[in-house]
Amino acid sequence: MMGMNRRERLTLLAAIVAVAAVSALLANATFVAAANAGSVAMARGAAPPKAPWAINPQVDWRGPGMAGWAPARWGWGRPGNVSIDPAQAKAAVEADIPGFRVGTVSSFKIGWLVPIEDGKGVVATIRVSNVAASTAEQAKAIVEESLRKGWRAGEPRLARGVYAVPLLDSKGSIVAIARVDGRSGEIIRGPSTVLAVTPERARSIANDAIKGFVVGEVRDRGGSWIVRVEYGGKAVMAIALGKLNTPTADEAARAVRESLAKGWSAGEPRQFRSFYAVPILDANGNAVGRIVIDGRTGEVMGIPLPKK
């Protein structure tokens, strides 16, 4: 403040004090707003804590086909028209819990899908982290042990006519979500995952099917050819071949026929829910494609092909 007279120095100091006071008020307002936001969020209701071995079970309350309209917060959604109240939805799930059992475990990208069935179908599916379980058997054992210790129904949340009822373990942690139709009061179930076909049988079915494989039509997909492989009159596999090595459709079809003639075989089936994806290997052990087998019936499934 060199070179300034007394009045100028006082004016500058007053300005500094004013700026500091405004900054403090703004900081306090920000803190209060954040605190209020947290209070509002707590008042709106938070999901119960999840079980440590389960992967994000809270999102399952939306149910299949409901993604996109349901908000991220637990318990918020449009109510819809219902004929039962939350207590009745909770009671329906509570009454069903004693009949729960673990269905057929399948894998997905970061863990295991463990279905919970009640004799009529799948009530809920639990995603177990592959950190907690390195095999399907371990994932099944974790869920069975948790179920043995006792589960109960949590407080339902309603969205578009469906009650989402959290399933809580003995510690009060959420493991999955059951859904109850708000109009009928019935628990919403998926098809049973109890399979009649074992992985070994699926592989045997695939090897038998290979004997009846027929190379079908070839479709142009721009930079590649899609060669249709048929079984029982339907497309069961599609093989993509680049045009660099097979410039024409006839050459692409011939290449697949020659590979098939040398001998194809079925690889290790990979289960997803009620189906087995079975890789098809050429004579050199390289995968040329895969077929899908229904684990409940043993049927070789047809596949949709890209449009011409």
Q: Same domain for 122 and 223? A: no
Report which of 45, 66, 43 is spatially closest to residue 161, judged by C-alpha positions. Answer: 66
Number of domains in the chain: 3
Total Cβ atoms within 10 A of residue 274: 21
CA distances (Å), origin 163, targets 96, 188, 298, 305: 15, 10, 35, 38
Residue 249 in this model has a pLDDT that exceeds 90: yes
The answer to whether residue 193 is domain-embedded is no
Does some domain include residue 177?
yes
The whole model's pTM is what? 0.55
Any idea which of 74-83, 134-143, 210-219, 239-248 has the lowest mean pLDDT?
74-83
Q: How confident is the model at residue 110 (pLDDT cuts 50, 70, 90)?
A: confident
Same domain, 86 and 176: yes
CA 138 to the chain's CA centroid: 19
d(CA 9, CA 59): 62
Place 80 in a pLDDT band, splitting at 50, 70 and 90. low
Task: Provide the domain limits for residue 104.
Answer: 57-181
| Pairing mode, strands 157-159 and 174-181 | unpaired
Specify whether 283 is located in the same domain as 215: yes
DSSP 50: B
Assess whether 149 and 63 both reside in one domain: yes
Residue 217 has pLDDT above 80, yes or no: yes
Q: Provide the pLDDT for residue 199.
A: 92
pLDDT above 70 (res 224): yes
303: in domain: no
**Residue 114 pLDDT exceeds 90:** yes
Residues 65 and 118 reside in one and the same domain: yes
Burial class (CB in 10 A: 0-12, 13-18, 19+), 115: buried
Q: Under DSSP, is residue 295 helix (H, G, I), strand (E, B) or coil?
A: coil
pLDDT, mean of residues 150-175: 93
Same domain for 170 and 64, yes or no, is yes
Asked if residue 220 belongs to a domain, the reply is yes
The pLDDT value recorded for residue 308 is 58
Percent of the chain with pLDDT over 70: 75
If one compares 138 and 42, the residue with the highest pLDDT of the two is 138
Same domain, 65 and 40: no
User: Rounded to whole angstroms, how far apart are CA atoms 24 and 28?
Assistant: 6
Among 153, 181, 209, identify where a domain stops.
Answer: 181
Q: Is residue 3 part of a domain?
A: yes
**What pLDDT is stored for residue 107 in this prediction?**
84
In this structure, the answer to whether residues 36 and 71 fall within a common structural domain is: no
Strands 265-266 and 234-242: unpaired
- Number of helices followed by number of strands (H, E) in the chain: 5, 15
pLDDT of residue 79: 53
Q: Are 170 and 82 part of one and the same domain?
A: yes
From the list 86, 84, 208, the residue with the least C-alpha distance to 154 is 86
Of the listed ranges 13-22, 122-131, 292-301, the one predicted with least confidence: 13-22
Specify the higher pLDDT residue, 23 or 285: 285
Q: How confident is the model at residue 296 (pLDDT cuts 50, 70, 90)?
A: confident
- Are residue 6 and residue 39 in the same domain, yes or no? yes
Based on the fold, state whether residues 98 and 141 are members of the same structural domain. Answer: yes
d(CA 74, CA 149): 26
Q: Give rounded-to-5 percent helix, strand, coil for the chain.
A: 30, 30, 40
Question: Given pLDDT bands bounded at 50, 70 and 90, which one contains residue 92?
Answer: very high
What does the alpha-carbon distance between residue 82 and residue 184 come to, in Å, rounded to a whole number?
8
Q: Is the pLDDT of residue 1 over 90?
A: no
pLDDT of residue 44: 43
Which of 155, 181, 207 delimits the end of a domain? 181
Inform me whether the pLDDT recorded for 66 exceeds 70: no
The answer to whether 212 and 232 have CB atoms below 8 angstroms apart is yes
Instruction: List C-alpha distances in Å: 248 to 122, 237, 289.
Output: 48, 20, 21
Residue 52 lies in a domain: no
CB under 8 Å to 283, separation ≥6 — which residues? Answer: 259, 262, 263, 264
121 and 146 share one domain:
yes
50 C-beta neighbours (distance < 10 Å), count:
17
Say if 302 falls within a structural domain: no
Domain assignment present for residue 299? The answer is no
> Residue 114: which of 123, 99, 101, 125 has the closest Cα?
125
The predicted structure's pLDDT at residue 42: 32
Is 117 within 8 Å of 143 (Cβ atoms)? no
Q: Which amino acid is at 199?
A: P
What was the pLDDT predicted at 4?
A: 53
